Amino acid sequence: MLIDMHMHERTYSSDSFLELNRMVEIGKKKGLDGICITDHDSMGLKEYAKKYSEKVDFPIFVGIEYYSLEGDILAFGIEEYPKERKSAQEFIDCVKEQGGITIAAHPFRNNNRGLEENLLRVRGLDGIEVLNGSTSIEACRKARNYARYLEVQATGASDCHVEEKIGVYATYFPYDVKDVNEMVDVFKKEKVMPVYFREENYHLPFSPTMIECVYK
């Protein structure tokens, strides 16, 4: 199953130009099997996305991109989150208490929104985004190296705010998942892999930790 795990819809992400119906439409055309809405510090789209997902028979998983004091972190499988900025560790602990997962978003992007070297200080991260559609190749490669060193899951996602970015990167799941709880469960138990879109198809890297082929 191919899922774009980091996407922004305009209702609750003011910097996005995307509406949910177009995200689903374009995602399907590209070959995605599901999408994740991870709005900035909000899960407000959750109920609407659930109803729309059922209507169009296409999995839509709602998480959050939380701006911790040290940088952005994606989270899935939670009902509650801090309404004010907390430390990365406090947020990770909050998610863990609810049985969810956390992924460091674009940790080395040059906009001071990534965890950067704090990856080595926090405890409990489940994954690191090693392919991000709005981040440089060099920053993605560095994120890959940290995921390998820390032995956490490596993920891919578009981080899209405009149509052209939808699905440029995604994450391969070895099993089908129907809702966010199943997605979280598979993520915890199985190896997922970042994938990239090229020549009308998605391609797996050579291995979960070696993604040089993406950059050739």
Per-residue confidence of the chain (216 residues) as pLDDT tens digits?
999 999 999 999 999 999 999 999 999 999 999 999 999 999 999 999 999 999 999 999 999 999 999 999 999 999 999 999 999 999 999 999 999 999 999 999 999 999 999 999 999 999 999 999 999 999 999 999 999 999 999 999 999 999 999 999 999 999 999 999 999 999 999 999 999 999 899 998 644 444 444 433
SS (H, E, C) 31-86: CCCEEEECCECCCCCHHHHHHHHHHHCCCEEECEEEECCCCEEEEECCCCCCCCCC
> Residue 147: its pLDDT value, please?
97
* Cα 168 to Cα 148: distance, rounded to the nearest angstrom: 22
> Residue 216: its pLDDT value, please?
39
Instruction: Report pLDDT digits (tens) over 7-33.
Output: 999 999 999 999 999 999 999 999 999
Query: Both tokens of residue 75?
Result: 């989270």
CB hemisphere CA count around 27 (13 angstroms): 30
Which residue stretches of the chain are H helix?
20-30, 46-56, 88-97, 137-150, 180-189
> Residue 204: its pLDDT value, please?
82
Give the contacts of 141 (CB within 8 A, at least 6 positions apart): 211, 215
* Cα 45 to Cα 62: distance, rounded to the nearest angstrom: 7
> Residue 149: its pLDDT value, please?
97
Q: Are strands 127-132 and 153-157 parallel, antiparallel or unpaired?
A: parallel
Domains in the chain, CATH or no CATH each: 2-215 (3.20.20.140)
pTM: 0.94
> Residue 212: its pLDDT value, please?
46
* Cα 70 to Cα 25: distance, rounded to the nearest angstrom: 35
Give the contacts of 206 (CB within 8 A, at least 6 positions apart): 212, 213
